[in-house]
Every structure is written in C-alpha cells, then in structure tokens.
Structure 1
Amino acid sequence: MTVKRMTGGVLATVLLCTGAVACGGSDDGKKAKGAGSGEIQSRSQVTEVITAAYEKTSKAKSAKVEMTMTAPASMGASAGEMKMSGVMGWDPTVMDMTMSGSALTKGDPEAPENIRMLWLDNVMYMNMGAAVAKEMDGKQWVKMDLNSIAEQSGDEKLAKQVTGGLESMNQDPAQQLAMLLDSPNLKHVGSAKVDGVQAQRYKGRLTVKEMMETNKGLSDVLSKSEREEMFKSIEKSGIKGYDTEVWVNEDDYPVRMDIDIKSPEGTMKMSQKFSDYGSEAKVTAPPTGQTVDLMEMFKEIGEAAGSDSDSGL
C-alpha cells in the first residue's frame, strides 16, 4: 500500500508538471496595442498583444501559480480533481508547489490530503507525509530522477522520449503563448476581470499536429520519424486538439490560462492563475537522510521478490 500510494503521487505529479509549464509576456516599456481596450481587436493587434505577453513573461522567469486540473470519471485512474499552488520558475525549471484534491486520495483513505512537491535539476521530490514516513524509517521525502530512469532503462527509445518530455518542460513557459500564436483561429473575445484585475481574453485552438510542429523542445531531441510515431500514438488515443484561452492584463502579463484537451473519454481541463511575476523561486533539495529514492526502492523490491522465488518461497 505504501508503494502504491507513493507511485500514485508520483504519476499524478508528473502529469501535472508536464502541463504546469504554461504561460507567457515584452519589457520594452510599450503597451501592446489594444491591450487595454474593450473593443474586439484585429488579428494584427491580437498577435502584438500575445507576442508582448510572451516576451515579458520570458524575462520575468518566475511567478506565483494556482492551478486546477480536472478529468471526468470516464478517464478512470486519471479522473478527479487536482489543485496546485506555490511558486514556479523557468529557464531553468524549478517548482515549490503544494498539491491537493480527490485525484490524490481516490481509492486510498490513508493517502495524504496534501503533498508538497519540489522540482530541481530535473529531479522531483515529494513529501508524502507522516503515514508513509512510519513505514520508511522516518523518511517523508520521495525522490524521482527522470533522467536517471531513462538512462537505467537501457532503452534508447524510452530515454529519448523521457528526455524529450523534460526538454519540453524546461522550455521557457512562454512557449505556450508562442505556440498559441501559431493557431490559425487565434482571436480576441472581449474583456473580463480575473480576481478583480481587468484583462483581455484571447482564444485559439491547435490540432495535435500543429502543437507538435511548433514545440521546439520535441524537435530538438526527437528525429522526424520519432515525432511522427509519437503523433500517431497521440492521434490513436483520440485526442483531437488543444483549446487554449488566455487573459492578459494591462501590464501585458497573462493572469490566467485555461487549456482543454478533448478525447473520446471526455475533456481534461487545466486552469492556471498567475501573479507576482518575478517572485523568488529558490528551491533546495531535501536532505539525503530524509529522502527515499523511488527507483532504488523498486529495485530492492524486485531483488527481494527474485530471491524469494529462487528459494521456493
């Protein structure tokens, strides 16, 4: 049960982190044309606003984040709600977030209601709470090094896929806005307030193919044939595309971004709110003596199982 609880937390966190790197903004002192106007903007004005947001957020390098991800019951193990709040930095990617929600506790009444997650140097650390610590020599932190997992697998294809995912995650979070600029139907849909802040709302849609073609992180680490294979796999899953909405304030910063991913099982929704751009995102790894390496633990369990089998137990 401890292993199941730890693994479930890891998988849920990986899913969220993959989606968490999303937002974007120009620091040239000029207000993007139309950014403070309630009038519907032309395509050129929309492009200017989103480009300004892309550039400005790139330079900020960090922000406070509140995120909610929901998946319908038809998605089985992925169903439920997950919330994250904390600070995130980019270039390089670092996070200090606290997670909660039904997706964490589903099927396990003893699962922690909150999990603190740290991300540093492509390594994820999660504080699984006192219940897990009792069974892990008092150690509350679980470590998962995705680079190491890829290398230890001995599978070059798997290693490339994992590395590709990490490269994509390590892209400047403004990449989501850069990708949105490539949406053929990007448009301004009016003004709205986000937590009392006046903002302009923009909407666009990318097909899976368009998303992959504009994702520089994938093209840097995967060959054309490997990207085509990944595209076929995603297409086979039934995912049709990504609907993105972003709210940009009068300072050219995105204050909210929503992404809907549609599939035959239903729509997965992710909503993020951003504030305090430039907030310090200093993350320190927990002490080694308080940390359990998840993959080392799996290895020991496997060796113990093999030993029992050899002895006829």
Structure 2
Amino acid sequence: MSRSAWKRAAVALAAVVVVTGVSGCEDGDGGTKPAGASAGPGTQTREEATKALRAAHTKTAEAKSAKVEMRVVVSGGQAAGSSTFTGVQGWSPSVADLKVTDSTYLAGIPGAPAETRLVTADGTTYTDVGAGQAAQTGGRRWMRIEAEGVAGGDELLTQLTAGLGVVNQDPARELGLLAGSSAVKHIGTEKLDGAPVQHYGGPLSGGKAMDVWIGTDGYPVRTIVSTRADGSLTKLTTNYTDYGTRAAVQAPPAKDTFGIMELLKSLGQGLGRG
C-alpha cells in the first residue's frame, strides 16, 4: 500500500472511532420522532419531567452497562460519513466491545474488511484493521486511537481525534445534564416498537441537546444526541437493551497493537506530507 493510501486508511479508521463519541445536538432537536413512534401531547410539568429524568439517571448509573445499537451520521465537514455499532457498552468505567458495520469510513479504505471490531478498555480505544492491513504492520492488527501527539499535525487528523475524551458516551451523565436543564420538557407519551414510552427533550450544556425515550421500567430505551460544530452536523442514535449486561472487556495484548501516530510517523515526512 502506498504512503498516501496508508494515511487515508489511518485517518478513516480514526474517524470510525471518534465519531461514535461526538455527542451534542442539532439546534432545538427536541421533538424528534423515531421510526415507529406515535406522539401524544406533553402532559408533565417541567418539575415532573426533571424528577423522571433524575430517576432514570440513577437507574442508568447503577446499571453501569447495557447492550447497544448505535447509528452515527455525520454530514458536512471533512469527516462526513456514517457507521453502525452493535455490542456491549459500559460506563464508570468506560468500556466497549462493538462490531462496526455499514460504515462509509471502512468502505473508503482500499482492502479494508466490510466490518470490524472496536474495543475500549483501560482508557484506550482500539480498532481491528484486519488481516490484510496487518500484513503492513508486522502482523499487528489492533490500532490504538490516541489523542497524544496530534496537536500541530495534520488538520483532518486533529479534527477527527478532538473528540476522544468522550469516545464512549455515558448515558447516565447525559441524563443528569438533561435533568438539570432549565428548558427540559416532556414532549409526549408515545409508542416505540409497540411499547409505551415517555419522550423528553431539551438542551444540554455547551449548546448541546438531547432527546430520550424512557420505558415503563424507568430505563432509557433510545436517545438521540447530535451537534453542530465547525460546519458539520453529527447525529448519534442509540438503542439500549439488557441493562446490567456484563461488560468484561479486555485490551488486546500490547504486542498486537500499534499507534496511529506511530503508523503515520513511520511513513516518513510527518503528518503534513505524503
């Protein structure tokens, strides 16, 4: 693979990881209806909505993990694309074991597999580059996605790695932020996949906002979080099931990993060339 192809591959793989954690919301996205939902009028006061969200926050924080299906769509900007992630995600501590499918990022890498695996453990996220790419890295097939060393480097890579601090979303934290919003509202009683849910929405801090659908058991069934920044819009839809699912995730052996910065530096000439 040529130097420029390796660079495109590394940047695209970084994008697969980073966009999963870019969370926020489109301006005033409250009231977004998922497919299969039928909305009723909002009946709860802000105080009642806040109480319900705080209760959901507590239950979610105590659960610590769940099975997830996430769909991220990025439009505009240099990192436009989409991916689907399915598997187990945990928070406090942050861990994940996800299969990546239906990804325009993977599709844009010559020789890349149609699907791959993404693992977060011990504060680091890794993505499996596949056997074909591993042949170019001495048999090491797990690429570490790191923020260190990016500053002052390639502009696109800097943009893509800027969100690594929140690469694994914490739904409990987000629910807490929504409950604390002065503009939170109960949007309505709806049905999601045939089951009754309560739909809430409102802005989060930093210009972000969130919609959440809470089931009769008090747990979030779905969240939609999106953000506008630097000319791009990122929308992250997450479906949750099986709260409390064991999230026993282990990092790949160090001998099987390599860093994205290590890869790009090995190409010579640095990030801004080649």
Query: TM-score, normalising length from structure 2?
Result: 0.77
Quote the Cα distance in structure 1 between the aligned partners of 2:62 and 2:203: 26
For residues 226-265 of structure 1, what are the structure 2 equivalents within 5 Å? 241-262=207-228, 265=231
Deviation at 1:39, TM superposition (A): 6.6
Aligned identity (percent) is 34
User: Residue 9 of structure 2 corresponds to which residue in structure 1?
Assistant: 5
Residue 71 of structure 2 corresponds to residue 68 of structure 1? yes
My pick for the range that moved more, 51-60 or 91-100, is: 91-100
User: Residue 78 of structure 1 corresponds to which residue in structure 2?
Assistant: 79
Deviation at 1:7, TM superposition (A): 2.7
User: Residue 286 of structure 1 corresponds to which residue in structure 2?
Assistant: 252
Match of 1:178 among 161, 165, 176: 176
Contact 1:6 1:128 in 2 (8 A): no
One-letter code aligned to 1:66:
E
Quote the Cα distance in structure 2 between the aligned partners of 1:261 and 1:252: 26
Deviation at 1:299, TM superposition (A): 3.4
Quote the Cα distance in structure 1 between the aligned partners of 2:17 and 2:167: 13
User: Residue 53 of structure 2 corresponds to which residue in structure 1?
Assistant: 50
Match of 2:21 among 8, 11, 17: 17
| 1:169–1:52 distance in 2 versus 1, CA, 3 Å | farther
User: Residue 139 of structure 2 corresponds to which residue in structure 1?
Assistant: 138
Quote the Cα distance in structure 1 between the aligned partners of 2:235 and 2:212: 14
Quote the Cα distance in structure 1 between the aligned partners of 2:9 and 2:169: 30
Q: Highest Rg: 1 or 2? A: 1
Deviation at 1:169, TM superposition (A): 6.0
Residues paired across the two proteins, number: 245
Deviation at 1:292, TM superposition (A): 2.3
| 1:100–1:19 distance in 2 versus 1, CA, 3 Å | farther
Q: Which has the higher contact order (CA 8 A, sep 6+)?
A: 2
| 1:196–1:139 distance in 2 versus 1, CA, 3 Å | farther
One-letter code aligned to 1:41:
Q
Q: C-alpha offsets along residues 97-123 of structure 1, whole Å, 9 cap, x if unaligned? A: 112234313543533321211111221
Quote the Cα distance in structure 2 between the aligned partners of 1:266 and 1:301: 30
User: Residue 272 of structure 1 corresponds to which residue in structure 2?
Assistant: 238
Quote the Cα distance in structure 2 between the aligned partners of 1:127 and 1:169: 16
For residues 116-135 of structure 1, what are the structure 2 equivalents within 5 Å? 116-135=117-136
Contact 2:17 2:167 in 1 (8 A): no
User: Residue 220 of structure 1 corresponds to which residue in structure 2?
Assistant: none
Return 5+ residue gaps in structure 1 as ranges. Answer: 21-36, 155-163, 213-240, 307-313
Quote the Cα distance in structure 2 between the aligned partners of 1:55 and 1:77: 37
| 1:45–1:258 distance in 2 versus 1, CA, 3 Å | same
Quote the Cα distance in structure 1 between the aligned partners of 2:46 and 2:209: 18
Query: TM-score, normalising length from structure 1?
Result: 0.68
Contact 1:63 1:276 in 2 (8 A): yes
Q: C-alpha offsets along residues 225-260 of structure 1, whole Å, 9 cap, x if unaligned? A: xxxxxxxxxxxxxxxx33311000111100100123
RMSD value, Cα: 3.2
Quote the Cα distance in structure 1 between the aligned partners of 2:165 and 2:234: 23
Contact 1:65 1:273 in 2 (8 A): yes
Deviation at 1:45, TM superposition (A): 1.2
Contact 1:122 1:145 in 2 (8 A): no
Quote the Cα distance in structure 2 between the aligned partners of 1:264 and 1:153: 17
Deviation at 1:13, TM superposition (A): 0.5
Deviation at 1:268, TM superposition (A): 2.6
Deviation at 1:281, TM superposition (A): 0.6
Deviation at 1:38, TM superposition (A): 8.3
